[in-house]
Amino acid sequence: MASSRRNRPERTVHVKNTALTSSATVLDQFGLPLWLYIPWRCILWFKRHWFLFALVATFLFLGRWWFLAILIFAPLCLVLYMKAMNPSRRLTAVLRASWLLLRIRRRWRWACEKAFLDDGGKAPHLLGGIRHRPPIIHNDRGTSLEFLIRLQRVGLTVTQIEENRDYLVGSLGARKARVIRVDPSTARVIFEFGHRQPSNPIAAGTPTDHILPRVELDEGVWLELETSILVVGESGMGKSNLTWFVLNELNRLRIPRRLYVCDPKKVELAELIDSPDIECYADDITDMDYCIDRFYNDMMDTFYRMKAKKLRRAPIGPEWPLHILIVDELLLCDQARKGVDSNLAKVLTAGRAAGFFVIADSQLGQVDALSRIRDLFPQRICMRVTSGDLVNAVLGPKSDERGAKCTEITEKGVGYIFTEFAGSFARFQLPFMVDVEAIAAGQYWEQVSTTKPRRRPTTRKKTSQTTKGQKGAA
């Protein structure tokens, strides 16, 4: 045993004053004397934390006017730092992102405590700010920031962030967040700030560069109108009713739109023929591909207009209306069966920036062929189906085990939705849209309850009856 220990090679090689970096090759081959090692480490530290070095140098230069450095030079250096790391963004976006960065850093420890992500007062490392690379700005307004979060310090995993994401978003004052897993203890988190859209965002008739509004399918269940939607379910379970519900919500929000409709059954969306917003209506299988091609050509024309005006995103308004392609029985058209090599796939991939998105319906008999084009739909809805395999074919692998109980649905208008942004499933139930003719004409239809509320007897009446009873007894 002793001889085997003596013959075992050493795992650690000790070289004096060679802590130049963490690389073992440099440690073993490059030795530095102490008088050279200390200045070299200082140079590396100043290179990594040059923002702090600039602040210290400014304080020393101004002397007694140090408060000017706090009020002027510190914010200026932060803005320049953010601009250097995000050179493609406008100055207004960088200014807004710098303010949000300070706001997040100030609330981070308290937000982690509310979201149960701390460990005895220790919060996870938020890599983004002064000590590390600034966050990445994801939009032209500077309201969407991406951070890198490491959880080794608190002993948690990315799963805890996904489960408690709503608490973290609410504490930071954000609108929503997206968690992207890097490894079990590291995640990229994109926080999006900004107020919710008003009920009438385009009443003034001027275009706005805002995120498209969300449609509330049920309490706390939202449908984003930025990306395309796939709806799958049995016949008569409410797929077309969901389309009418979305159009009705657009009427309520008064968002200008252009409709391209493929209705091969000639009855589901027939009221849209006389709609003032209709651009193309195909009620025959042979005309469906023509309608899709026209939708694609209009999208390319919109991109040309955006390029001429140097717009990265079409501002939704009267001059830039929202374009919606509604396809009933998706797989009856040839382009859907081709998969990603079609104009329909190009619209699903690039239509978001121009305000073009698709609402596609499909029945159960065609679910086995959806795997070619399913992943191009960021938002997928599944209504009643007969087996868990069909649920997985629509929503993804193991969806039935993860909470999408589509086989247990018994009512019409009930379904489960999966969005890549939320990364989870949610159940909703829609009301039945009765007056579809009014919805097609651009009017908002509101369901009115026919049940009369019960009146509770007032305390005064009870008191008077009690008094009468006491008088009679007397």
pLDDT of residue 242: 92
Contact 392, 339 (CB under 8 A): no
The dihedral through the CA atoms of 149, 152, 158, 160 has a sign that is negative
pLDDT of residue 209: 40
- Looking at per-residue pLDDT, the higher value among 447 and 143 belongs to 143
Taking Cα atoms as reference points, which of 262, 274, 281, 388 lies closest to residue 333? 262
E-assigned strands of 75-137?
Answer: 125-127, 136-137
Q: What six digits make up the tokens of 307? A: 């390029």
Q: 127 pLDDT exceeds 80?
A: no
Taking Cα atoms as reference points, which of 323, 348, 335, 229 lies closest to residue 287? 335
User: What are the residues facing 381 on neighbouring strands?
Assistant: 231, 417
Residue 4 — very low, low, confident or very high, per pLDDT cuts 50/70/90? very low
Contact 319, 207 (CB under 8 A): yes
> Residue 237 to residues 121, 232, 241, 365, 472: CA-CA distances in angstroms?
50, 10, 9, 14, 62
φ, ψ of residue 164 to 5 degrees: the values are -110, 25
Number of Cβ within 10 Å of residue 19's Cβ equals: 13
Residue 161 — very low, low, confident or very high, per pLDDT cuts 50/70/90? confident
pLDDT tens-digit readout, 164-219: 887 888 888 888 888 887 888 888 888 888 754 444 444 444 444 444 667 888 77
What are 106-112's contacts with CB under 8 Å, separation 24+? 107/171, 107/172, 107/173, 108/172, 110/171, 111/167, 111/168, 111/171, 111/172, 112/168
pLDDT of residue 76: 73
CA 122 to chain centre: 28
pLDDT of residue 243: 92
pLDDT of residue 64: 59
**Cβ contacts of 342 within 8 Å, gap of 6 or more:** 334, 335, 336
φ, ψ of residue 68 to 5 degrees: the values are -65, -35
Q: What six digits make up the tokens of 371? A: 């795997």
Q: 457 pLDDT exceeds 80?
A: no
For the residues 357-384, what does the mean pLDDT come to?
77
For the residues 33-56, what does the mean pLDDT come to?
72
pLDDT tens-digit readout, 69-95: 566 666 777 777 777 777 778 888 888
Per the document, the length of the chain is 474
pTM of the predicted model as reported, rounded to 2 decimal places: 0.55
For the residues 42-70, what does the mean pLDDT come to?
65
For the residues 254-282, what does the mean pLDDT come to?
90
Residue with tokens 């009115």: 448
pLDDT of residue 15: 44
Q: 103 pLDDT exceeds 70?
A: yes
364-375 b/e with 16+ CB inside 10 Å = b? Answer: beebebbebbbe
Q: Over the chain, what is the mean pLDDT?
A: 75
Q: Which of 57-61, 118-122, 229-233, 409-413 has the lowest mean pLDDT?
A: 57-61
What percent of the chain stands above pLDDT 90?
A: 11
Contact 231, 250 (CB under 8 A): no
Highest mean pLDDT among 172-181, 235-244, 416-425: 235-244
φ, ψ of residue 426 to 5 degrees: the values are -140, 140
Q: What six digits make up the tokens of 403? A: 């909470």
pLDDT tens-digit readout, 267-279: 889 899 989 999 9
Quote the Cα angle for 340-345-349, to 5°.
110
pLDDT of residue 417: 86
pLDDT of residue 294: 93
pLDDT of residue 9: 46
What percent of the chain stands above pLDDT 70?
A: 72
CATH of 216-440, one of 3.50.50.60, 1.10.240.10, 3.40.50.300, 3.40.605.10: 3.40.50.300
Residue 378 — very low, low, confident or very high, per pLDDT cuts 50/70/90? confident
The rounded distance, in Å, linking the Cα atoms of 301 and 353 is 13
Domain definitions of the chain by residue range: 89-192, 216-440
Taking Cα atoms as reference points, which of 124, 111, 116 lies closest to residue 172? 111
For the residues 392-398, what does the mean pLDDT come to?
80
pLDDT of residue 189: 87
Q: 450 pLDDT exceeds 50?
A: no
Amino acid at 37: Y
| Separation of first and last alpha carbons in the chain | 109
CATH topology of domain 89-192: Threonyl-tRNA Synthetase; Chain A, domain 2 (3.30.980)
Q: 366 pLDDT exceeds 80?
A: no
pLDDT of residue 303: 93
- Looking at per-residue pLDDT, the higher value among 45 and 240 belongs to 240
Amino acid at 70: I
φ, ψ of residue 326 to 5 degrees: the values are -105, 120
